[in-house]
Structure 1
Amino acid sequence: MEIDVQSLLFEFFGGLGIFLLGIKYMGEGLQKTAGDRLKDILDKFTSNPFMGVLAGIVVTVLLQTSTGTTVLAVGLVNAGFMTLRQSIGVIMGANVGTTVTAFIIGIKIEEYALPIVAVGALMLFFFKNQKLQNYGQTIFGFGALFFGLNLMGSGLYPLRYLEAFHELTIEMSGNPFLGVVIGTVFTFVVQSSSGTIGILQNLLGQGLMDLDAAMPVLFGNNIGTTITAVIASIGASIAARRAALTHVIFNLIGATVILLLIHPYTVLIASIRDGLGLNAEMTIAFAHGIFNVANLIIFFPFIGLLAYLVTKLIPGEDSVIDFKPTHLDPIFIQQSPAVALDQAREEIIRMGEYAYKGLEETALFLNNHQTKHADNAFQIENALNKLDREITDYLVQLSVAQLSDSDSERHSALIDSVRDIERIGDHFENVVELIQFKISNKIIITEDAKEDLNKMIDLTNLTVKEAIESLSEMDRVKALEVVKHETQIDRMEKSFRKKHIIRLNEGKCSGSSGIVFVDILSNLERIGDHALNIAEEVLGEKIPETVH
């Protein structure tokens, strides 16, 4: 029989595209339906490795991609929101969660794919309610997944008449290593382990491949899915690179062990298939599921050892910020509100020291353009946001307690100070983003403008440092220094703006560089305002505009 290569390629790759789009749409719909709180799930429910595993499973089912969950975990480690040990549990759970897609495929409802797509599309286009639209997106993705599978199947069908393909599958049956390489490479290229498994289920379902040939490809799939996480960790923090390496070790050792036991494992899966009367698609789903669950059970007791191993393989001190509060003990709220206020103040001072560190990283990024300083600044800003929520919640709970008049005033002052420090983080984040914009768009800032920026950022950093120190020591002298320096910052901003207009008129700088320059000045001036607010809380009075 003559094979129409064009139709084969068009149907296979078109089907694969629709299949991957279906998985993406279904995952996004589920994610929106769940309230788009995936980071919160990982953040709040990873207190121990077991909870991390459960969180990894849940998030992967919602995202419909283990790679996505692993990349998310690496990002959270990089941001300091998750420890290495917590991320290992999440990564293990992600490997189990991804097997759900294979079981969905095993249901075999391809003949209903188009009506399901139609229902989803109707809900997307004819319902205004956001919740119904989210359900519609999930249903549309679900139908597209099966429609894509059906198209892939049609494209692959002619391969049964191709002698070279038969020879390849026979070779894979006798040489498992070849199957592993094919599975690894294809998963990396497609960037979806579910995509590889869907193809594998199709090939087995059409009798184009036997179980002996399919098993090594399945295990290669588990190795290929780690590569994306490795790419995501390039240039990230040491902790993030360790998390990605853990994923590689976990999947690589698991696949290696099972390859050594490939024959008995294939016999086990064949007996389960025959005993339960499974179709080919569901057989692959069971093979995938049992492997990942077994891998999890075997490795779970060694999470500590894995963390130790990757720490030795990737040595060095990591700059991860500890975003968790260290002073906010809820027991003081009822028993001793005055002590609770002191604890909250200590946490706010710690938060303020982080804000100053963030400004230092921003200044370094302005001058040397090294990405690590931008990453550190973003990491600190994330920590400030988290501490802001935790401290504010603590102070809100404390407001219910019986406070003296002086403690009530301190309470209000602390709430205001938390807000000011959090806003400092927002502004230095804006400055970092402006510098990134300057770099990516190859915008040149003149030496005079750069010198002005450095003067202002140095003075701003000093002012923030003095504001935090004045709050820490309740030092009026330092608070008055903040007032004086904030006045200088305001004058600097006006003076540097005028100098910029002169440079612009003389053609020394471009309009785009001017926009970046002025926006950075504006953000630094606002940081000075927030430092002044903190100093005013120490002084116990508002400083009139005419004074500063």
Structure 2
Amino acid sequence: MDWQDILFKFVGGLGIFLFGIKYMSDGLQKSAGDKMRGLLAKYTSNPVLGVLVGICVTILIQSSSGTTVMAIGLVNAGLMTLRQAIGVVMGANIGTTMTAFIVGIKIEEYALPIIAIGAIFLFFFNKKKFQYMGQIVFGFGALFLGLSTMSGGLKPLRELPVFIDFMVQMKDQPFLALLVGVVFTVIVQSSSATIGILQTIADEGMIGLQGALPILFGDNIGTTITAVLASIGASVAAKRTALVHVIFNVIGSIIFMIFLVPVRDLVLWLGEGVNIRMQIAYAHGIFNTTNTLIFLPLIPVLAWIVTRVVPGKMQEIEFRPMYLDERLLATPAVALGQAQHEIVRMGRYARETLEDAAVFFFTKDSKSASLALQKEQLINELNRKITDYMVRIHQSNGLPAQESEKASGWLQTVNDIERIGDHAENIVELSEFSINNKVEFSELAGRELKEMLAVADKAVERAISALEHNDAEAAQQVLDYERDLDEMEARFRKSHIQRLNQNLCTGSSGAVYLDILSNLERIGDHSKNIAQFVLHEEDYTD
């Protein structure tokens, strides 16, 4: 027996198979507009919808781990709640069965012509949509070429007594088979690949359906390791989401192991007359669909369990407007009042973003950077939603001329707040650059930045307070702070040039220092714009 030939064909076939899945997945994502993250964030308002979105996204990207990791990222960013993410995870488990059904179609003999067709689309068509189509077809063909190569490599094992005994042992000891599935998937990091290998081994007659089912269930447990790894160092909510994925697959596997014989009989009945590869695909579909139906009503219970197992306070960021109500557009004056509440809320987040950016700069605490970037995302989202809402208020023509003028001022304020968030984000990025490139600042430069950041923070705080309470005194304070920031920016810039001439700082640290000064000065300008609007509104009211 040529062990080198077996090993090379198996490893090479596995590589081609994984490449085929990835390449096909990339083509599907590109042809779909690569908007899966947005789809997950927007259309998961209830668990059932979350399941459906999870199914669709996983079919598009051909990876349940990818969808789950994406959901964890959205939870970590505060764009999705834990309960929404649980629905998505359940849907991802159903969506991933599509790969098993694709593998169940025995068309390896046509793999090379399929690859050729894909290559024609890739190299002889200039339009992107045809190239994406070629990528999908090429990946589809590569997937089956990989299966065929693996199958050819594994065939000699059928005659190896040790391998035969091991397969018989797995049939007689289902929990050993379950463990094999878990370990193999943890190693390969792809349940689609390990299930594809299982289908290939079964198709070669090396293992029967009853022996294959526990391995299949183990594959589903093993795939949770990717989500667990993605949650390391993430937020409490993200860790809870990963734990839900583990609980979902582990409890489901235990249930199906208990009812192993009835499950086998059901699969044989449903898959009568089809090949064993398709029967395994049926079993995979039954496993995940049944699991979802069992756990869907228990989502609140699952959320409660993981909250107890993973303690800690979650960062509560409501990533959607709280005050904008479509029904109030019928009464524009009331709708404008609600929009003003939302704008003030947006302003508070802009100030918090600046505070988190300052903490990150001085402490290098990555959690502060993450929070700043999350809040800046929220500011951008609120900017879009508020602007759209305000435009619709204007279009209703239900506002008096005075109120319409005020509404225009509030709309400009939204832009100023959004720009404050952008400048705070710039400070985070400059801080990351200084950390990654080991940029050191002199003690004096650090003191100057701390002083200017404190004044900028006061300017933003007073501006938002003035906006909320229509406070002319607070607005006047903002104008004073803005003059201080202008003076500081000019004075500190001169101080920096002196340090540069005395070789007390480097060019890299100087560039970062000057950029931060510039961003803080611009934050003062936008705060001043808000204050002037408040003062104008106060004068107009009087």
Match of 1:176 in 2: 174
Seen in structure 2, the aligned counterparts of structure 1 residues 490 and 116 have a Cα distance that, compared at 3 Å, is farther
- The answer as to 2:496 corresponding to 1:500 is yes
In structure 1, what residue type is equivalent to 2:464?
I
Q: 1:499 Cα deviation (Å)?
A: 2.5
Match of 1:477 in 2: 473
Does the CA contact (< 8 Å) of 1:179 and 1:216 recur in 2? Answer: yes
Deviations 1:204-244 (A, max 9, x none): 11112222221111111111111111111112111111111
Match of 1:47 in 2: 45
In structure 1, what residue type is equivalent to 2:405?
E
Using the size of structure 2 for normalisation, the TM-score is 0.95
- The answer as to 2:424 corresponding to 1:428 is yes
1: distance between equivalents of 2:200 and 2:159? Answer: 16
Match of 1:10 in 2: 8
Does the CA contact (< 8 Å) of 1:79 and 1:320 recur in 2? Answer: no
In structure 1, what residue type is equivalent to 2:256?
I
In structure 2, what residue type is equivalent to 1:389?
R
- The answer as to 2:72 corresponding to 1:74 is yes
Q: 1:55 Cα deviation (Å)?
A: 0.6
Q: 1:37 Cα deviation (Å)?
A: 1.7
Match of 2:201 in 1: 203
| Aligned partner of 2:81 among 83, 87, 100 | 83
> Which runs of structure 1 show a deviation greater than 4 angstroms over 4 or more consecutive aligned residues?
none
Q: 1:59 Cα deviation (Å)?
A: 0.6
In structure 2, what residue type is equivalent to 1:385?
N
Seen in structure 2, the aligned counterparts of structure 1 residues 21 and 518 have a Cα distance that, compared at 3 Å, is farther
Seen in structure 2, the aligned counterparts of structure 1 residues 182 and 470 have a Cα distance that, compared at 3 Å, is same
2: distance between equivalents of 1:519 and 1:152? Answer: 56
Q: Secondary structure at the match of 2:78?
A: coil
2: distance between equivalents of 1:176 and 1:445? Answer: 62
Match of 2:391 in 1: 396
In structure 1, what residue type is equivalent to 2:491?
S
Match of 2:23 in 1: 25
Seen in structure 2, the aligned counterparts of structure 1 residues 519 and 122 have a Cα distance that, compared at 3 Å, is farther
Does the CA contact (< 8 Å) of 1:119 and 1:140 recur in 2? Answer: yes
| Aligned partner of 2:94 among 93, 96, 105 | 96
| Aligned partner of 1:301 among 297, 302, 305 | 297
Match of 1:312 in 2: 308
Seen in structure 2, the aligned counterparts of structure 1 residues 472 and 255 have a Cα distance that, compared at 3 Å, is same
1:279-428 alignment runs, 5 A limit: 279-334=275-330, 336-402=331-397, 403-428=399-424
Tell me the number of residue pairs that the alignment of Structure 1 and Structure 2 aligns.
Answer: 536
Deviations 1:296-343 (A, max 9, x none): 111111111111111111222211311221111122212x21111111
Match of 1:460 in 2: 456
Match of 1:443 in 2: 439
Between 398-407 and 262-271, the greater mean CA deviation after superposition: 262-271
Does the CA contact (< 8 Å) of 1:22 and 1:145 recur in 2? Answer: yes
Deviations 1:382-430 (A, max 9, x none): 2112111211111121111122221121121122111221222222122
1: distance between equivalents of 2:317 and 2:214? Answer: 42
2: distance between equivalents of 1:80 and 1:38? Answer: 17
In structure 2, what residue type is equivalent to 1:323?
F
Between 90-99 and 455-464, the greater mean CA deviation after superposition: 455-464
In structure 2, what residue type is equivalent to 1:21?
F
Between 310-319 and 492-501, the greater mean CA deviation after superposition: 492-501
In structure 2, what residue type is equivalent to 1:102?
A
Does the CA contact (< 8 Å) of 1:80 and 1:383 recur in 2? Answer: no
Between 474-483 and 307-316, the greater mean CA deviation after superposition: 474-483
Seen in structure 2, the aligned counterparts of structure 1 residues 171 and 434 have a Cα distance that, compared at 3 Å, is farther
| Aligned partner of 2:486 among 470, 478, 490 | 490
In structure 2, what residue type is equivalent to 1:510?
T
Q: 1:360 Cα deviation (Å)?
A: 1.4
Structure 1: tracts of 5 or more residues without a match = 542-548
2: distance between equivalents of 1:502 and 1:114? Answer: 69
Seen in structure 2, the aligned counterparts of structure 1 residues 413 and 175 have a Cα distance that, compared at 3 Å, is same
2: distance between equivalents of 1:164 and 1:427? Answer: 66
2: distance between equivalents of 1:11 and 1:502? Answer: 67
Instruction: Provide the aligned C-alpha RMSD in A.
Output: 1.7
Between 22-31 and 119-128, the greater mean CA deviation after superposition: 119-128
1: distance between equivalents of 2:404 and 2:386? Answer: 16
Match of 2:189 in 1: 191
Match of 2:534 in 1: 538
Q: 1:512 Cα deviation (Å)?
A: 2.4
| Aligned partner of 1:278 among 262, 274, 278 | 274
Seen in structure 2, the aligned counterparts of structure 1 residues 533 and 119 have a Cα distance that, compared at 3 Å, is farther
Does the CA contact (< 8 Å) of 1:344 and 1:391 recur in 2? Answer: yes
Between 177-186 and 342-351, the greater mean CA deviation after superposition: 177-186
- The answer as to 2:286 corresponding to 1:263 is no
Does the CA contact (< 8 Å) of 1:323 and 1:384 recur in 2? Answer: no
Q: 1:280 Cα deviation (Å)?
A: 1.9
Seen in structure 2, the aligned counterparts of structure 1 residues 353 and 168 have a Cα distance that, compared at 3 Å, is same
Match of 2:540 in 1: none
Seen in structure 2, the aligned counterparts of structure 1 residues 125 and 507 have a Cα distance that, compared at 3 Å, is farther
Seen in structure 2, the aligned counterparts of structure 1 residues 529 and 138 have a Cα distance that, compared at 3 Å, is farther
2: distance between equivalents of 1:279 and 1:441? Answer: 58
Does the CA contact (< 8 Å) of 1:420 and 1:534 recur in 2? Answer: yes
| Aligned partner of 2:159 among 151, 158, 161 | 161
1: distance between equivalents of 2:194 and 2:159? Answer: 22
Between 528-537 and 389-398, the greater mean CA deviation after superposition: 528-537
